[in-house]
């Protein structure tokens, strides 16, 4: 495939990166697709995939199921973008959580679509809401919710779902962390009348509690290193157990693709 640009009315095409399906659409078309669904209050799931998520999905059955079912799986990390380009999606760009959050908030303000914020702490949610009011003055935040960090009962989940649906929000940003947010969307997504977007750690970064890597670092694919320097104890094992396997699997996939192409040429 020479291009990743597809009209938002078309069923989004996916390619497998290390065995996991990732949506092959450029940033502007993925945003347009989310907004089209939001205007209809369509029940949709958007997973924002980085290297950690792709590797985690290989040993977490529910996470893998969530990614398989998701309407969009966006390439959050540059290594995934580079792999997609290697696989023929030459125009593919990065569709990262923070960029999605900012673009969707801007478009929702313009199109009068309300949003809902689920996850993180109430302090962080209050800071996010206050900053949204400054950055997007006419954006309607239909509701915020900070659920307990313990596992929730069916009754508690039902109440959360009811509040989201009653709010009228077209977009629900979910910041519960991976894989919790993806598994939650997979379990309850069909009951929610909103486009659900799992944005991981976007809320505290947007609130200013954590630093966001400069664009040049993100473009080089080194955001993981920037984050590791900030939180070495929390992130060292995560990166140590996901980055090397991803590199190995990516090289294997590229090698197999090259062999398949050469075999086809010989047969021709």
Give the max Cα distance, the chain: 63
Evaluate whether 243 touches 221 at the Cβ level (below 8 Å).
no
Handedness of CA 254, 260, 264, 267 (dihedral sign): positive
What is the per-residue pLDDT for 8?
A: 44
Q: Which residue has the tokens 């923070």?
A: 98
Range of the domain at 191: 14-224
Q: With respect to residue 78, please indicate whether it lies within any of the assigned structural domains.
A: yes
What is the per-residue pLDDT for 258?
A: 82
* Cβ count near 157 (within 10 Å): 16
- With residue 261 as reference, give the H or E element that holds it: helix 232-267
Question: Would you state the structure tokens that stand for residue 197, as one six-digit string?
Answer: 């977007």
Q: With respect to residue 5, please indicate whether it lies within any of the assigned structural domains.
A: no
Q: With respect to residue 67, please indicate whether it lies within any of the assigned structural domains.
A: yes
Q: With respect to residue 113, please indicate whether it lies within any of the assigned structural domains.
A: yes
Q: With respect to residue 186, please indicate whether it lies within any of the assigned structural domains.
A: yes
Q: Cα–Cα distances in Å, from 238 out to 56, 179, 242?
A: 10, 13, 6
Q: Cα–Cα distances in Å, from 88 out to 4, 54, 127, 169, 219?
A: 9, 19, 42, 37, 20
What is the per-residue pLDDT for 11?
A: 67
Q: With respect to residue 145, please indicate whether it lies within any of the assigned structural domains.
A: yes
**Terminal alpha carbon distance of the chain:** 20
What is the per-residue pLDDT for 109?
A: 99
What is the per-residue pLDDT for 7?
A: 43
Q: With respect to residue 247, please indicate whether it lies within any of the assigned structural domains.
A: no
Into how many domains does the chain fold? 1
Q: With respect to residue 7, please indicate whether it lies within any of the assigned structural domains.
A: no
What is the per-residue pLDDT for 12?
A: 84
User: Residue ranges of the alpha helices (H) in 142-222?
Assistant: 154-167, 180-188, 202-206, 215-219
pLDDT tens, residue order, the chain (268 aa): 444 444 444 568 999 999 999 999 999 999 999 999 999 999 999 999 999 999 999 999 999 999 999 999 999 999 999 999 999 999 999 999 999 999 999 999 999 999 999 999 999 999 999 999 999 999 999 999 999 999 999 999 999 999 999 999 999 999 999 999 999 999 999 999 999 999 999 999 999 999 999 999 998 989 999 989 999 999 999 899 999 999 999 999 999 988 877 666 555 5
Quote the pTM value.
0.92
> In sequence order, what are the residues at sequence separation of 6 or more whose Cβ sits closer than 8 angstroms to the Cβ of residue 190?
43
């Amino acid at each position: 495939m020479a291009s990743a640009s597809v009209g938002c009315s078309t069923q989004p095409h996916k390619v497998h990166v290390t065995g996991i399906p990732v949506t092959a659409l450029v940033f502007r078309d993925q945003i347009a697709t989310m907004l089209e669904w939001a205007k209809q209050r369509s029940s949709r799931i958007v997973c924002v995939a980085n290297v950690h998520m792709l590797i985690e999905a290989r040993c977490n059955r529910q996470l893998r199921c969530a990614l398989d079912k998701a309407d969009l799986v966006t390439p959050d990390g540059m290594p995934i973008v580079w792999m997609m380009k290697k696989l023929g999606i030459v125009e593919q760009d990065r569709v990262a959580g923070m960029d999605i959050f900012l673009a969707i908030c801007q478009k929702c303000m313009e199109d009068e679509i309300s949003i809902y914020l689920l996850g993180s702490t109430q302090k962080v949610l209050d800071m996010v809401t206050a900053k949204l009011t400054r950055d997007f003055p006419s954006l309607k935040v239909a509701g915020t919710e900070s659920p307990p960090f313990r596992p929730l009962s069916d009754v508690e989940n039902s109440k959360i779902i009811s509040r989201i649906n009653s709010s009228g929000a077209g977009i629900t940003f979910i910041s519960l962390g991976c894989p919790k947010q993806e598994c939650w969307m997979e379990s309850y997504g069909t009951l929610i009348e909103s486009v659900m977007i799992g944005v991981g750690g976007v809320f505290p970064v947007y609130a200013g509690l954590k630093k966001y890597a400069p664009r040049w670092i993100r473009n080089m694919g080194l955001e993981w290193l920037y984050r590791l320097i900030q939180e070495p104890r929390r992130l060292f094992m995560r990166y140590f157990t996901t980055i090397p396997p991803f590199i190995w699997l990516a090289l294997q996939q590229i090698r197999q693709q090259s062999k398949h192409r050469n075999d086809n040429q010989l047969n021709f």
